[in-house]
């Protein structure tokens, strides 16, 4: 579940049952249930394959649990609506796929600049453009990092199971509140549409990070004055704290200050620092057999499952393979990866794209002057990478070495 | 409040409307002078308003309502 | 009455507006109205987009939010739905509202959500230096229409009326003293209110269109505007020269959030996800068993895969279901796959099927090669007429036909198929399967489908396999 420290459980009604439940859910269904479990009470959505089931699920779940659902006229307005709702005190989410994710970028940037917590789900499909509407890809990884114009850091998580579609949605909300940032959730069409057994927790097992409300009265409050961790307290609109919010560069009072270089520099660096400086708290990952791996397989999302299978098969056949799974794609688990790759001679990176995360791993290795053979295993035909493809690649890499 | 209020009208027995101009906010657009039905204002060299004939002010409030900079305050006589 | 400056955010003053710009007039009228209505400053949300008009909320001592270009209505919709008791007022430029924001303007009016949109129409994109907007008159000069605007001017009020806004009015900043009265009516309207306020942009529009000073632009606003009543009496040629101001629409229409609340109030209870009672596994290992259902859309193969998966979960096993299909809702191709196992399943798709159920000839032809040696194909011979023998066992049954003739409904073929599977494969427990069928089908379908299940089960057990 959410394994980070948090002081209190939100004392709002959490719409889960009193006991655990075993369910057979579709990934998208589990994401919708996860949002409700996280206390989400506002959803704005627009239909797009393969994410539509999330909107459909929440169109029912929101009115059933006292929340609000609206189908907006396009994805740009979905993103705008969830930011407005969050500013006014809601916990809000939207879900889309590649083309809609592209449309949302400007407003996601606005959420970054105004430090508005919200969750954006991108159930990735083949692109670019209309691409492969019903088939999976992992091709929005770099877009999640850099889709917004301007300098910024972002948090993005990649689930690999239906159970994680549930639990990580909650995690996304918690990270969003803790760091006052939009959080991108990056399943792919396989995870979104597959159905698996999932154990839903009882309501008292769910830990939520409550919104950081102001600790001073309105006359002393500065909306963008950071706490020690770089994150300002958040006053909801209409709760007695009146200030100006703008997407322009602004000072700690919210006043636009476009002609003051010091203010600009301080703000941009603080916004990035919020995430970069707290990366130890934010980074999530998994690994196995890395202590003595000769070849490290780095995989995320549904491809991780193939990698898992391949690595176990390789080990069974006496080959020293190991895997490293980034769960937070951004910020990248760079230190953890560098440690995991120590014993390995080569890194195999299977991805359903043309090597987007392989590029990031190459950057990490290069920046730290660590030399390893990096082998991207790319697939862009709408099909999931199979375990045997990873198995064969690892064997070839070892033979060539 | 950062008001640089300069009451330029004589106001001995409060029988006259008091017109105050905030010169810090005034941008000298001249609209107050242009549309005053009683020609209360003159304009200085830079185009800013001078309350020249406050005794003629009928308190129609057009100057205050039309001022785009909240820079005119008309206090009606008691 | 004198203007109460406590409603201003004075730390932001003086305004960035050019001398004579009408935006400050609108701001003053707005804040006067807020005070007159007795609204608490904390209960007012001032929202804007991008442009000169977008700076207005900065000067208002309310909860003030400047958003992105054209999207203010979207943000405001989220704010209002979250805090419906608050007063939401938007300040949009003509370009922001009707060009980039046109779609959101259309839908906000259509929804009739309770907020007021004040459009500051100065016929131009002012902040960026005077480019043509949809409100720029035909023939006017701007920095992007240096030879005269070839485009036609949008009539914002007509668009708002057509789109469904319940209160629509137009005025000008020359008519400064009438603005609070109109705003009061707009704010009191429980629905989407639109007030278009014409104003001068001396720097962006005026200079390029031969207005010598802002005073001349105000004279224009005074002289070119007539009341709506007077306007109706004009000849068509006269109408070309005049702009009607006043109230174009003031009606009661059901408001969006009221309707949402009524809908939510009618909901009796939450539909929770179904709990599946799992027995602990009996210790028998099934290993990794891969099964493909293939056929055409509408044959219920996805449901069959789901029911089979839930059956395995009831038995204390694990199952993953995936599916693929073409764009057609009916017909076309449909594939539903189940991977079953004793523990967590890693690779979720079929690599080498142990069993293929083929419900059409096309799917038989396409997928038979993917079945492993010694595996099984169950072919519905109603549709699969050509069956070729290789290293694979084949069970040929006219499933759909049996359903049609014996049970009177071809659509239970998928359930009959599940019965056949249970009969044929020892590890699928009939009772668990029956429970799953009942759980996933509506009660009115139970009778028919249990019959199909039983018939299939008998077929599966009794039939040795037509080789």
Q: What is the ipTM of this complex?
A: 0.94
Chain C residues within 8 A of B29 when measuring between CB atoms: 19-20, 214
- C448 at A interface, C-beta within 8 A: no
Inter-chain residue contact A60 with C62, CB threshold 8 Å: no
CATH number at residue B34: 3.30.70.20
Element (H, E) at C56: helix C56-59
Chain C residues within 8 A of A133 when measuring between CB atoms: 327
Chain C residues within 8 A of A193 when measuring between CB atoms: 322-323
As a dihedral over the C-alpha atoms of residue C71, residue C77, residue C80, residue C81, rounded to 10 degrees, the angle is -150
User: Do the beta carbons of residue B75 and residue B68 sit within 8 Å?
Assistant: no
In angstroms, the CA C79 to CA A84 distance is: 5
Inter-chain residue contact C19 with B28, CB threshold 8 Å: yes
Note the pLDDT of residue A288: 97
- B78 at C interface, C-beta within 8 A: no
Chain A residues within 8 A of C318 when measuring between CB atoms: 196-197
Domain count, chain B: 1
Chain A residues within 8 A of C11 when measuring between CB atoms: 253, 255
Cα dist. A113→A97, A250, A254 in Å?
23, 9, 11
Inter-chain residue contact B70 with C5, CB threshold 8 Å: yes
Note the pLDDT of residue C205: 96
| Contacting subunits of B (3+ beta carbon pairs below 8 A) | C
Of A70, A89, A247, Cβ closest to residue C83: A89
- B64 at C interface, C-beta within 8 A: yes
Terminal C-alpha separation, chain C: 99
Note the pLDDT of residue C463: 56
- What residues does CATH 3.40.50.970 cover in chain A? 12-205
- A92 at C interface, C-beta within 8 A: yes
- What residues does CATH 3.40.50.920 cover in chain A? 285-400
Q: Give contacts of B 13-52 with C, CB under 8 A.
A: 24-25, 27-31, 34-35
Inter-chain residue contact C3 with B2, CB threshold 8 Å: no
As a dihedral over the C-alpha atoms of residue C128, residue B67, residue C44, residue B4, rounded to 10 degrees, the angle is 100
User: Do the beta carbons of residue A348 and residue A399 sit within 8 Å?
Assistant: no
Note the pLDDT of residue A13: 41
Inter-chain residue contact B31 with C218, CB threshold 8 Å: yes
Chain A residues within 8 A of C68 when measuring between CB atoms: 80, 106-107, 110, 247
| Topology (CATH) of A285-400 | Rossmann fold (3.40.50)
Q: Which residue out of C9, C23, C25 would a mutagenesis test of the B interface target, given it has the greatest number of B Cβ atoms within 10 Å?
A: C25
Read off the pLDDT band of B15 (50, 70, 90): confident
In angstroms, the CA C62 to CA C35 distance is: 12
Domain membership of residue B42 as a residue range: 18-75
b/e for B46-61, b at 16 or more Cβ within 10 A?
eebbebeebeebeebb
Q: Is residue B48 part of a domain?
A: yes
Q: Give contacts of A 33-52 with C, CB under 8 A.
A: 33, 41-42, 44
b/e for C199-215, b at 16 or more Cβ within 10 A?
bbbbbbbbebbebebbb
CA distance C119 to chain B (A): 16
Chains A and C touch (3+ CB pairs under 8 A): yes
b/e for A64-96, b at 16 or more Cβ within 10 A?
bbebbbbebbbbbbbbbbbbbbbbbbbbbbbbb
Is the predicted pLDDT of residue B1 greater than 50, yes or no? Answer: no
User: Do the beta carbons of residue C187 and residue C33 sit within 8 Å?
Assistant: yes
User: Do the beta carbons of residue C354 and residue C373 sit within 8 Å?
Assistant: no
Q: Give contacts of A 129-168 with C, CB under 8 A.
A: 133-135
Chain A residues within 8 A of C259 when measuring between CB atoms: none
In angstroms, the CA C301 to CA C357 distance is: 9
Q: Which residues of C touch B (CB under 8 A)?
A: 2-3, 5, 8, 10, 13-15, 17-25, 27-29, 173-174, 176-177, 213-215, 218
Inter-chain residue contact B1 with C214, CB threshold 8 Å: no
Its pTM stands at: 0.94
Q: Taking Cα atoms as reference points, which of C425, C301, C339, C442 lies closest to residue A197?
A: C339
- C421 at A interface, C-beta within 8 A: no
What stretches in chain A show pLDDT beneath 70? 1-16
Read off the pLDDT band of B12 (50, 70, 90): very low
Note the pLDDT of residue A21: 92
Inter-chain residue contact B70 with C8, CB threshold 8 Å: yes
| Topology (CATH) of A12-205 | Rossmann fold (3.40.50)
Residue in this structure with the two tokens 């039983």, named with its chain if needed = C454
Chain C residues within 8 A of A25 when measuring between CB atoms: 273
Q: Is residue B65 part of a domain?
A: yes
What stretches in chain C show pLDDT beneath 70? 281, 326-329, 463-467
In angstroms, the CA C270 to CA C276 distance is: 18
Q: Is residue B37 part of a domain?
A: yes
Q: Is residue B4 part of a domain?
A: no
Q: Is residue B63 part of a domain?
A: yes
């Amino acid at each position: 579940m959410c394994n980070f420290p948090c002081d209190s459980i939100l004392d709002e009604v959490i719409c889960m049952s009193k006991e655990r439940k075993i369910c057979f859910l579709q990934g998208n269904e589990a994401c919708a249930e996860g949002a409700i479990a996280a206390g989400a009470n506002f959803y704005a959505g627009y239909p797009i394959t393969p994410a539509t089931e999330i909107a459909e699920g929440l169109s029912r779940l929101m009115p059933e649990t006292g929340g609000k659902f609206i189908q907006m006229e396009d994805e740009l307005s979905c993103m705008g609506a969830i930011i407005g709702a969050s500013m006014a005190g809601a916990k809000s989410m939207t879900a889309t796929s590649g083309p809609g994710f592209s449309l949302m970028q400007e407003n996601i940037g606005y959420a970054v600049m105004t430090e508005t917590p919200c969750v954006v789900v991108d159930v990735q499909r083949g692109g670019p453009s209309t691409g492969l509407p019903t088939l999976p890809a992992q091709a929005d990884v770099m877009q999640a990092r850099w889709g917004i114009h301007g300098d910024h850091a972002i948090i993005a998580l990649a689930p690999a199971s239906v159970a994680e579609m549930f639990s990580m949605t909650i995690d996304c909300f918690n990270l969003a509140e803790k760091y006052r940032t939009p959080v991108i959730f990056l399943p792919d069409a396989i995870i979104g549409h597959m159905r698996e057994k999932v154990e839903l927790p009882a309501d008292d097992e769910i830990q939520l990070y409550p919104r950081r409300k102001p600790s001073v009265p309105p006359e002393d409050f500065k909306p963008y004055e950071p706490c020690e961790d770089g994150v300002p307290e958040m006053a909801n609109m209409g709760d007695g704290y009146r200030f100006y919010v703008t997407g322009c560069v602004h000072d700690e009072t919210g006043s636009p200050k476009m002609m003051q270089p010091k203010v600009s520099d301080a703000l941009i660096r603080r916004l990035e620092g919020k995430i970069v400086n707290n990366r130890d708290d934010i980074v999530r990952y998994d690994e196995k057999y890395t202590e003595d791996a000769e070849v490290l397989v780095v995989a995320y999302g549904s491809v991780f499952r193939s990698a898992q299978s391949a690595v176990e098969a390789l080990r069974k056949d006496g080959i020293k393979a190991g895997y490293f799974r980034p769960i937070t794609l951004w910020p990248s688990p760079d230190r953890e990866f560098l440690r995991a790759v120590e014993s390995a001679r080569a890194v195999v990176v299977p991805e359903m794209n043309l090597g987007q995360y392989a590029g990031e791993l190459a950057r990490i290795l290069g920046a730290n002057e660590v030399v390893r053979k990096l082998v991207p295993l790319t697939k862009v035909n709408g099909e999931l990478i199979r375990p045997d493809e990873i198995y064969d690649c690892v064997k070839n890499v070892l033979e060539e070495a | 409040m950062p008001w640089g209020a300069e009451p330029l009208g004589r106001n001995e027995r409060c029988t006259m409307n008091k017109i105050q101009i905030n010169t810090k906010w005034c941008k000298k657009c001249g609209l107050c002078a242009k549309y005053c039905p009683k020609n209360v204002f003159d304009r200085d060299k830079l185009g800013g308003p001078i309350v020249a004939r406050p005794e003629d002010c009928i308190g129609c409030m057009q100057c205050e309502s039309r001022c785009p900079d909240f820079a005119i305050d008309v206090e009606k006589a008691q | 009455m004198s203007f109460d400056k406590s409603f201003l955010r004075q730390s932001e003053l003086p305004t960035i507006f050019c001398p004579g710009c009408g935006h400050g007039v609108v701001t003053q009228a707005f804040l006067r109205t807020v005070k007159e209505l007795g609204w608490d400053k904390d209960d007012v949300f001032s929202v804007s987009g991008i442009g000169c008009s977008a700076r207005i909320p900065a000067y208002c001592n309310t909860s003030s939010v400047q958003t992105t270009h054209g999207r203010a209505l979207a943000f405001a919709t989220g704010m209002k739905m979250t805090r419906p008791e608050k007063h939401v007022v938007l300040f949009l430029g003509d370009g922001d509202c009707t060009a980039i924001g046109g779609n959101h303007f259309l839908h906000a009016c259509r929804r009739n959500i309770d907020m007021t949109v004040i459009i500051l129409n100065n016929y131009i994109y002012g902040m960026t230096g005077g480019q043509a907007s949809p409100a720029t008159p035909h023939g006017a000069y701007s920095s992007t229409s240096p030879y005269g605007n070839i485009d036609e001017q949008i009539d914002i009020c007509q668009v708002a009326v057509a789109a469904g806004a319940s209160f629509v009015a137009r005025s000008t900043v020359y008519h400064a003293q009438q603005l609070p009265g109109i705003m009061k009516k707009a704010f009191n309207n429980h629905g989407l209110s639109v007030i278009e306020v014409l104003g001068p942009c001396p720097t962006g529009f005026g200079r390029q269109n031969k207005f010598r000073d802002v005073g001349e632009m105000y004279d224009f606003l005074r002289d070119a505007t007539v009341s709506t009543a007077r306007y109706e009496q004009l000849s068509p040629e006269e109408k070309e020269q005049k702009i009607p101001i006043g109230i174009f629409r003031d009606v009661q229409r059901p408001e969006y959030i009221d309707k949402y609340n009524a809908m939510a109030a009618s909901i009796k209870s939450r539909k929770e996800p179904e709990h599946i009672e799992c027995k602990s596994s009996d210790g028998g290992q099934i290993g990794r068993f891969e099964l493909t259902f293939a056929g055409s859309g509408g044959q219920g193969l996805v449901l069959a895969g789901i029911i089979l998966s839930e059956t395995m979960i009831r038995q204390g096993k694990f199952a993953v279901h995936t599916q693929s299909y073409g764009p057609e809702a009916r017909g076309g191709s449909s594939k539903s796959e189940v991977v079953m196992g004793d523990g967590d399943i890693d690779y979720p798709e079929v690599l080498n099927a142990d069993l293929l159920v083929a419900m059409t000839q096309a799917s038989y032809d396409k997928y038979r090669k993917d079945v492993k040696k010694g595996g099984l194909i169950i072919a519905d011979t109603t549709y699969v007429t050509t069956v070729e023998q290789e290293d694979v066992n084949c069970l040929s049954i006219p499933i759909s036909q049996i359903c049609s003739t014996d049970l009177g409904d071809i659509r239970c073929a998928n359930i009959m198929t599940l019965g056949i599977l249970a009969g044929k494969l020892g590890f699928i427990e009939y009772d668990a399967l029956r429970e799953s069928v009942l759980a996933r089908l509506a009660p009115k379908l139970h009778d028919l489908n249990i019959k199909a299940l039983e018939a299939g089960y008998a077929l599966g057990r009794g039939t040795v396999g037509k080789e």
